[in-house]
Amino acid sequence: MSMIVWDDSPALDVFERILELKKLRNAFILAHNFQSPEIQFVADYVGDALSLSMQAAKVEQPVIVVCGPDFMVENTKILAPDKTVLYANEFARCPMAAMITPKELRALKKVYSDAGVVGYINTSALSKCEMDICCTSSNAVKVIKSLSAQEIIFVPDQNLGFYVKNLVPEKSLILWPGFCSVHQRIRKEDILELSRAHPAAKILVHPECTPEVVELADTVLSTDGIKKYTADPQTQEFIIATEVEVVNTLSDNYPDKMFYPIEKASCQTQKKIKLGHVLEALEEMGPEVNLSDEIIQRAKCPLDRMLAVGRGD
């Protein structure tokens, strides 16, 4: 692929350069809900992990740039194996995805040999090769209920596991002590303080939060679920217990409503992706995600099974 030489005209700012190059490369940009507003602006599709996966499988353009952490870039390649899939920033690595390794998962499977294996989508491609089915925060309950196995290994997010366990008591879940540090940081006291200040506000909580925070929720939802829920014209005020960027999007979407964020819940992994990275990825056509055909085939099975289950919110 030839390098593009840009006119240095100051009128060609970085946004214009990205949009122009996107056309030239025939590229499609996916961005997660936790990406900054300027990244969301240049993206062709913005959503949560499940909707990004669904979209990845449908993209027609030959090139996809993924503005999200490492596991999302891998998911995109697995679901769109014939496309050139580019990292916006390959150093945006999700710490939770690294909390379970294929070796650890194989060891668990040896101990619980009759158990089904459900893995959060926030895991590496290699870990997915060891799973029966994936799930996201939007469909974890539906996925667990869809399995015939009574005993289920659930990795890596313990908080999501506790949430599911309460809603599906007929199953026995073996949890792994992983967590998302961004949602783990949200404390019960943060919610209570906001609730005292805004007593009419509905409390919307992401299921990666700790059980004591989930307990305070009016409703527990994925980030796309939160976006849908807040469209309800009956409710005007919301406390949003998830990554802070979601609140910026909601405030833009519904300027007449009030949204109260947890300011400290900012994902520094997702924020590692800057406009300059997107531009560079399109200019250089790299870095490209490389997974062997064998890994793609094996990791695709649990993802396809999850997509067949669909959304749960």
Residue 119 C-beta: closest distance to ligand SF4, Å: 13
Cβ neighbours of residue 252 under 8 Å, at least 6 residues apart? 37
Closer Cβ to ligand SF4, 181 or 248, answer by number: 181
Q: Rule CB under 6 A: is residue 243 a binding residue for ligand SF4?
A: yes
Stretch that binds ligand SF4, among 81-89, 138-146, 180-188, 221-229 (CB under 6 A): 180-188
Closer Cβ to ligand SF4, 84 or 222, answer by number: 222
Residue type (1 letter), 170: E
Diameter of the chain measured on Cα atoms: 65
Closer Cβ to ligand SF4, 69 or 302, answer by number: 69
Stretch that binds ligand SF4, among 143-151, 179-187, 226-234, 253-261 (CB under 6 A): 179-187
Q: Rule CB under 6 A: is residue 53 a binding residue for ligand SF4?
A: no
Q: Which of 105, 205, 220, 267 binds ligand SF4 (CB under 6 A)?
A: 267
- The answer to whether 42 and 76 are in contact (CB under 8 A) is no
Q: Which of 122, 136, 139, 249 binds ligand SF4 (CB under 6 A)?
A: 122
Residue 243 C-beta: closest distance to ligand SF4, Å: 5
Closer Cβ to ligand SF4, 55 or 269, answer by number: 269
Stretch that binds ligand SF4, among 75-83, 93-101, 248-256, 293-301 (CB under 6 A): 93-101
Of residues 28, 21, 137, 119, the one with CA closest to residue 76: 28
Site string for ligand SF4, 25-44 (x = CB under 6 A): ---------x----------
Q: Rule CB under 6 A: is residue 66 a binding residue for ligand SF4?
A: no
Sites for ligand SF4 among residues 204-223 (CB under 6 A): none
Sites for ligand SF4 among residues 268-297 (CB under 6 A): 269-270
Q: Rule CB under 6 A: is residue 95 a binding residue for ligand SF4?
A: yes
Q: Rule CB under 6 A: is residue 121 a binding residue for ligand SF4?
A: no
Question: What are the tokens at 6?
Answer: 């840009």
Closer Cβ to ligand SF4, 77 or 206, answer by number: 206
3-state secondary structure the chain: CCCCCCCCCCCCCHHHHHHHHHHHHCEEEEEECCCCHHHHHHCCEEECHHHHHHHHCCCCCCEEEEECCHHHHHHHHHHCCCCEEEECCCCCCCCCHHHCCHHHHHHHHHHCCCCEEEEECCCCHHHHCCCCEEECCCCHHHHHHHCCCCEEEEECEHHHHHHHHHHCCCCEEEECCECCHHHHCCCHHHHHHHHHHCCCCEEEECCCCCHHHHCCCCEECCHHHHHHHCCCCCCCEEEEECCCHHHHHHHHHCCCCEEEECCCCCCCCHHHCCHHHHHHHHHHCCCECCCCHHHHHHHHHHHHHHHHHCCCC
Q: Rule CB under 6 A: is residue 182 a binding residue for ligand SF4?
A: yes
Residue 94 C-beta: closest distance to ligand SF4, Å: 3
Q: Rule CB under 6 A: is residue 63 a binding residue for ligand SF4?
A: no
Residues that bind ligand SF4 (CB under 6 A): 34, 69, 94-96, 122, 180-182, 243, 267, 269-270
